[in-house]
Structure formats: C-alpha cells, structure tokens
Structure 1
C-alpha cells in the first residue's frame, strides 16, 4: 500500500442486521421522497451509516436479479479464484528462484525401516559388508554359503582373493 492511499476500515455488521435494514428500506421506501432520504432516515435507527445501508440494498437487488451486476455468490467465487491465482504465482516465483520447497512430513511405517547390521564376514565393527576383492568381479558379493567355494575356485584360477 502506497503512503498516498488510505485504507478505510468499515465495521463488519452481522448478516441479520443487514437483512433487517434491507427489509425496513423496502417496507418504508414509499414514505420518503427519494431513496437517499429513506437511507438517511432508516440508517440511524439501525446504527449504521446511510452509505452502508445503500450498499446493502443495492447488493440485495443484485442477488434477487432486480439490478444488473455481480451477485454475492459470483463475488465470492471471484475472490476465491483471485486468492488461488495469487498463491499459484507465489509458488511459481519460488520455483523460478530455485528455492527448496518444503515437503510435507511423512511418517515412515515402522516395518519399512531396514536395520543395518554388521556382515557376518566383516573384520571390524563398523564394516557393513565385507568385500573380498574389488578388482575381481566374482568376489564382489558376499553371499552366504557360496563364498567359500568361489574363493577356492578363484584361487585355483589365480585370482587374488
């Protein structure tokens, strides 16, 4: 908001008061010379400004189809769509900047956790899997039961395992 523009805050009146004001205006309009005179006479009895009463009456006429313009439902829909557009534009700006998007926290199920245990052939406590020889393709996996036979075969063939 620029410093030149002032934002006016109008009090929020309950829907019952607005409906009662519109009903009183419609019932008593014939007693006054003009709409403006009716607004000025009825508004102080309700405790609102004549301008507020005028706006409520005009909106009630739009909602009932007596006056051209947007209905309250259409205004609410436009407001929701504008909010959604604003949020999507913010999300696009964040994505363009390359900032990390906060992902929702997902709790993992207890069964999905795989405990990291020490291999039975590990030489040290912090070894997870003991690999015999990284240069030999046959010796890279540590398979239970077949390791002894593979080593014997490779030793006979000249592998350094």
Structure 2
C-alpha cells in the first residue's frame, strides 16, 4: 500500500471529529472506524493521529510532536558535526605531517657518514691497538 500524505487540515478535522464522537454517549467504541469510513481514511492512520494529538495535549504520556521534531534536528546536527570533525582531523593530520620540519637527529634515517681513513678521524682512539680499529 502506498503512503499517502494527507493535508494537516484534514488530519486536524478528523481528530476533532473522533474526539467529539468519543464524548457522545455510547460513541467511545468504534469512533475512529466510523469517522475514518466517513472521510475515506485508513482507521489505523486515524488512530495514530488521535493518539499523537492526545500526547501533544498532555492527555497521554509520550513524545510530543515538537519534541520529536527537535530531536530529529539535533540528531541531524550531530551527524553533520561528527562528519565535519572527521574531515578536520584528517586534514590537520595531513597538514601537520606536511609542515613538520625534517629532523636531523632522526635515528631511523641517518645521513651516510664519511669513510674512516685513519686514527685521526676516530674519536677516543688514543691508546687502542690498530688491529681493533680495523675490525670495526
């Protein structure tokens, strides 16, 4: 069955008719079905409209239409903000890596050192045998 979008005026009128029919003596039972048949509506849809109208008026406990609308807006805003945060985090990580100065003391990527040519090129070699220095 296809979903029909009924105008708000029709919904309000149907709810008023059901509430008026319930106030009549003996009219409580089957009021939704009678009004739905008169207006050519689905009885289940009309029951939902009446229940929501009672919630909005404070007669029945539940989430009001205004609260449900506000909740949906806030959930949409949270989704958008989370998405924006994820984009900003990835962008900041990208630019932080790009703008970081190269580290000269990095232990992972050492610059190639010049070849050792003799004792004078080594630090702290005084008094050590030459054979030990050549094996290193």
TM-score for the superposition, normalised by structure 1? 0.50
Matched, 1:78 2:71: yes
Matched, 1:43 2:73: no
- Detail structure 1 runs of 4+ shifted over 3 Å in the superposition: 30-33
Q: Unaligned regions of 5+ residues in structure 1, if any? A: 1-7, 100-161
Q: Supply the RMSD in Å over aligned alpha carbons.
A: 2.1
- Residue in 2 aligned with 1:59? 52
Which of 91, 98, 114 is equivalent to 1:98? 91
- Residue in 2 aligned with 1:15? 8
Q: How many residues are matched? A: 90
> Which residues of 2 match residues 123-138 of structure 1 at below 5 A?
none
Tell me, in whole angstroms, the C-alpha distance in 2 between the residues paired with 1:11 and 1:93: 38
Tell me, in whole angstroms, the C-alpha distance in 2 between the residues paired with 1:74 and 1:90: 24
Higher RCO, Cα 8 Å, sep 6+: 2
TM-score for the superposition, normalised by structure 2? 0.58
How big is the shift at 1:50? 0.8
Tell me, in whole angstroms, the C-alpha distance in 1 between the residues paired with 2:12 and 2:35: 13
Tell me, in whole angstroms, the C-alpha distance in 1 between the residues paired with 2:69 and 2:28: 34
SS in 2 for 1:98: helix
How big is the shift at 1:92? 1.7
Higher helix share: 2
